[in-house]
Each structure stands twice: as structure tokens, then as C-alpha cells.
């Protein structure tokens, strides 16, 4: 199975973000012919103020229904059908009854929604550069661990700040995950020191492949203040090797998920069997 991570530089203009995603996916599919294409966290709307985020948020259709969704939802569904690929939709802003949600939606090649995951861990921190973040002011937290089946591969869902909480990834491994997606909008200040180290650590611990599509570059927050995300979208194997990576700028990277590698790593070091709950 071939997996592509797409790196974007989204902003607050939703239609431009969709156009950018379309250009990158078209090029990646033509050149690399992946089985799964993945987008970054909040690729549909990054930056702006609360009014912009609410305007860009989408009310998702009832799962399993044929109801139409919003612009980002329908773009991902159409992309899956057009290219006959799975689309792991990074995350989009979902309209909730009280707060928004940061939500992954996944489509199979016939355009059927097959998984939905809401980000569990909300980014309420002060970064090393002094910038404050308070996601819980705007977003609600999810409470469901989500996996889905893509061919012979069991796929686990996580988003960005989730990477700092190993228990979620152990639960995904226990539920059979072979590959875990981590769409992100990792800050430049934290990403330059922690991004690759955390992804490789979780890959080593869980003995899963990791695919981490990320946003890159500058965007503007509500009062016009600049914020920067780190990018460096990457794919790591179950031994913790980085097997594909995007540098600065927009683009994509593709790698082949080899079940034989997974099986060998887990056979030779059976950590799931050895694990003690303390």
C-alpha cells in the first residue's frame, strides 16, 4: 500500500485552501499513484478570528447517510471517487452544538465515509516563543478511539497534540493498528525540537507506521498577527526510521507501507506481549 502525506500552507480563505489541496493531490496522484492520500490538520481553515472559523465550520452529515456535506467534505468525497483512492481528510472544522470540533473524516475509494475522529487533546499551552494557545476556548474534545480498515491495513486516527499522550497510541495498537495518521499544524517553536522525535518515538513504542501530513509556513490570526507552523510532513516505519519527508514549502511525500516490515519488527521484539500495566 502506498501512502502520500500532503503538506499545505492554508489560511483563512476556505475556497483557496480547497483549490490548493486539489492542486497538490492531483499532482501527487499523477506522479506517485498512492492508495491513500492524507491532508494536514485544519487544512480547510487556519487562522482568522472566531467569526471566520465559525463561518468555515461544517455541519457533518449523519454517519452512514447519503446526505450532502459542506464544501470541504464534498471535495474530499469527490476526490476519493475521482482518483479511486482512500482520502484521510486531515482534519476540518466541524460545527458542534456548543463548540467547534477538530475532526478527521475518512473516505473510501467509492466516496463513502468510513471513519470520523474528533481530536481528544486540546492545545492549551504557552510556546517557547511566548505565544499562547487556548484551543479549549473554541473547540470541544473528542472521546472516541477510532480505527478503520483500508485493504489489509488497520489504520488509527490521531491529530497533532495527541502525539504527546502515549496512552492513545497504545490503545490504537491494541485495537490492531498497523498505520497511524497524525495530521498536524505543529507550531514552528515546538516543531523544530519535538516533531520528528515524538513521531519516531511513538512509532518505535507501538511498532506502527506513522504518516504525519502537516501545515507549513505563515498564516495570520484574527488581529493580523503572524503565526508559523513547522511542516516537515513525514512517514516513519515501525522501527522508527524516517522513510519519506517533505522539506520546507508545500508539497508531498509518498512511501510504501510494507506489512512484512511490521511483522518482522513485532516478531523480533514483542513489546505488546511484554507490556505491564502499572
d(CA 106, CA 102): 14
**Interior/surface letters 146-171, b for 16+ CB within 10 angstroms, e for the rest:** bbbebeebbbbbbbbbbbeeeebbbe
CB 76 within 8 A of CB 43: no
- What are the C-alpha distances in Å from 50 to residues 17, 46, 82, 151, 169? 18, 11, 33, 39, 31
Known catalytic residues? 41, 119, 160
Q: Which helix (H) or strand (E) holds 116?
A: strand 113-118
d(CA 62, CA 254): 32
Residue 92, SS3 per DSSP: strand
d(CA 251, CA 267): 35
Amino acid at each position: 500500500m502506498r501512502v502520500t502525506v500532503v503538506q499545505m500552507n492554508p489560511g483563512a480563505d476556505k475556497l483557496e485552501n480547497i483549490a490548493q489541496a486539489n492542486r497538490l493531490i492531483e499532482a501527487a496522484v499523477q506522479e506517485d499513484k498512492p492508495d491513500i492520500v492524507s491532508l494536514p490538520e485544519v487544512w480547510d481553515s487556519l487562522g482568522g478570528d472566531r467569526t471566520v472559523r465559525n463561518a468555515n465550520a461544517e455541519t457533518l452529515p449523519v454517519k452512514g447517510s447519503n446526505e450532502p456535506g459542506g464544501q470541504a467534505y464534498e471535495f474530499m468525497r469527490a476526490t476519493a471517487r475521482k482518483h479511486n483512492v482512500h482520502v484521510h481528510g486531515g482534519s476540518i472544522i466541524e460545527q458542534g452544538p456548543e463548540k467547534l470540533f477538530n475532526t478527521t473524516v475518512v473516505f473510501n475509494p467509492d466516496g463513502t465515509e468510513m471513519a470520523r475522529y474528533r481530536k481528544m487533546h486540546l492545545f492549551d499551552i504557552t510556546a517557547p516563543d511566548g505565544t499562547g494557545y487556548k484551543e479549549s476556548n473554541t473547540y470541544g474534545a473528542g472521546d472516541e478511539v477510532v480505527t478503520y480498515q483500508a485493504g489489509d491495513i488497520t489504520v488509527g486516527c490521531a491529530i497533532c497534540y495527541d502525539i504527546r499522550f502515549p496512552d492513545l497510541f497504545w490503545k490504537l495498537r491494541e485495537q490492531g493498528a498497523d498505520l497511524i495518521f497524525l495530521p498536524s499544524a505543529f507550531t514552528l517553536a515546538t516543531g523544530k525540537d519535538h516533531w520528528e522525535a515524538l513521531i519516531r518515538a511513538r512509532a518505535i513504542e507501538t511498532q506502527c507506521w506513522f504518516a504525519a501530513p502537516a501545515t507549513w509556513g505563515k498564516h495570520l490570526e484574527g488581529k493580523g498577527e503572524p503565526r508559523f507552523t513547522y511542516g516537515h510532513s513525514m512517514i516513519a516505519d515501525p522501527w522508527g526510521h524516517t522513510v519519506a519527508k517533505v522539506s520546507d514549502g508545500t508539497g508531498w511525500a509518498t512511501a510504501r507501507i510494507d506489512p512484512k516490515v511490521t511483522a518482522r519488527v513485532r516478531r523480533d521484539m514483542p513489546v505488546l506481549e511484554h507490556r505491564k500495566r502499572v
